[in-house]
Amino acid sequence: MAFLVMLSTTVFAQKVPKSYLTKDSVLIGDQVAWITEFTFPEGVDLKAIPYKQTLAADTTLRGAAIEVVKDLQIDSVSLKNGQRELRAKMMLSAFDSGSFHLPAPVILYSIEGMADTLSIDPQDLYVNTIQIDTASFKPYEIKAQEKYPITVGEVLPWVLLALAVALIIWAICRYISMKRKNKNFFGKSVQVEPPHITALKKLEKLRLEKIWKVGKEKQYYTGITDALRNYIESRYGFGAMEKTSSEIMDSLKDKKLDEKIFNDLDEMFARADLVKFAKYTPSEQDNENAIPVAVNFVNFAYMQQLEEAKKEEVK
């Protein structure tokens, strides 16, 4: 133990820390660095206590006159013959004038199970205020905020944005207008397939597929009634897609349909409801006749429409 104490004394007696401020006087708000240079054998554990804590514990300073801009940090400078040259540095600033006696930073070290504090001298810092020459000082009136002219670069983005919005609105309005006239965006006429042709094509496709023969009666009758509903809605102008079968037939009573065509259509709609909602299985003959019934109705309604159009022309 005596040997360790002697060794510790010998080692640290040779290593007096060099501690200094980069400036001993500064102006209010300026920064000053506090640097401490010292040497320790390799393997010594070091710990720097944050200088903010040291300042907080010191009762001689006036409130928060000294501020720690960058707290205490230890960096290795070099390593020679098992000895590390170290540098501890921190940045301080002051926001009050006067002379300040700065407490020494605390650096702890531990070697061979022995712990101690590095001996660092405190420093004095003088903070000056900015002197104003009252003899030559001339107060000036407060000037109003200066207005600068608006530049093209400031206005151009808003102009482009307004043009883009106007162009989008114009394009939407033109698209809606042309669509109502059965034309495309550029004004060219668009061939729209007549509703009766669309209905007949759907019915012909269902007739050729004959899906009822593979147990798909529900899909078969749904396809037929949907094709008829779409045509009725287009031909007579009421919402057939939202009506029940009985409501559709009630709406068709005053349309002057052929009695047989009307009765066959009513019977086919009723059978379709049984298939779709009551799991009814119609006969093969009923399935074969469903398409002709629907086709006869579409053809009759279309021919009736042509006759009505001719009468209107005569009038």
pLDDT digits (tens, 9 = 90+) for 217-255: 999 999 999 999 999 998 888 888 889 999 999 999 988
Per-residue burial over 152-190, b if 16 or more Cβ lie within 10 Å, else e, is: eeeeeeeeeeeeeeeeeeeeeeeeeebeeeeeeeeeeee
Collapsing DSSP to helix, strand or coil, 148 comes out as coil
Specify if 272 maps to a domain: yes
109 and 214 within one domain: no
Specify if 239 maps to a domain: yes
Collapsing DSSP to helix, strand or coil, 129 comes out as coil
86-97 pLDDT, tens digit per residue, is 999 999 998 888
Cα–Cα distance for residue pair 128/117, rounded to 1 Å: 33
Specify if 189 maps to a domain: no
Specify if 138 maps to a domain: no
Q: What is the DSSP string of 2-17?
A: HHHHHHHHHHHHT---
Is the C-alpha dihedral spanning 37, 38, 41, 46 positive or negative?
Answer: negative
User: Do 120 and 72 contact (CB within 8 A), yes or no?
Assistant: no
201 and 124 within one domain: no
Residue 267 has pLDDT above 90, yes or no: yes
State the total domains in the chain.
Answer: 2
209 and 107 within one domain: no
Beta partners for 87? Answer: 37, 75
Specify if 162 maps to a domain: no
Residue 13 has pLDDT above 60, yes or no: no
Specify if 203 maps to a domain: yes
> In which band, very low, low, confident or very high, does the pLDDT at 176 lie, cut at 50, 70 and 90?
confident
34-85 pLDDT, tens digit per residue, is 999 998 888 888 889 999 888 888 877 765 678 899 999 999 888 888 888 9
199 and 106 within one domain: no
Q: Phi and psi (nearest 5°) for 132?
A: -110, 130
> In which band, very low, low, confident or very high, does the pLDDT at 110 lie, cut at 50, 70 and 90?
confident
Residue 81's nearest CA partner among 19, 39, 109, 36 is 39
Q: How many CB atoms are closer than 10 A to CB 108?
A: 13
Which domain does 226 fall in, by range? 195-309
Helix axes 217-236, 245-252, angle to 10 degrees: 40
**Residue for token digits 């006067």?**
98
Cα–Cα distance for residue pair 273/218, rounded to 1 Å: 9
Predicted TM-score of the model (pTM): 0.43
Collapsing DSSP to helix, strand or coil, 313 comes out as helix
**Structural domain ending residue among the three candidates 128, 149, 167:** 128
Collapsing DSSP to helix, strand or coil, 315 comes out as coil
What CATH number should be reported for the domain holding residue 106? 2.60.40.10
110 and 210 within one domain: no
**Structural domain ending residue among the three candidates 88, 107, 128:** 128
Specify if 300 maps to a domain: yes
Cα–Cα distance for residue pair 37/12, rounded to 1 Å: 13
**Structural domain ending residue among the three candidates 79, 101, 128:** 128
Specify if 171 maps to a domain: no
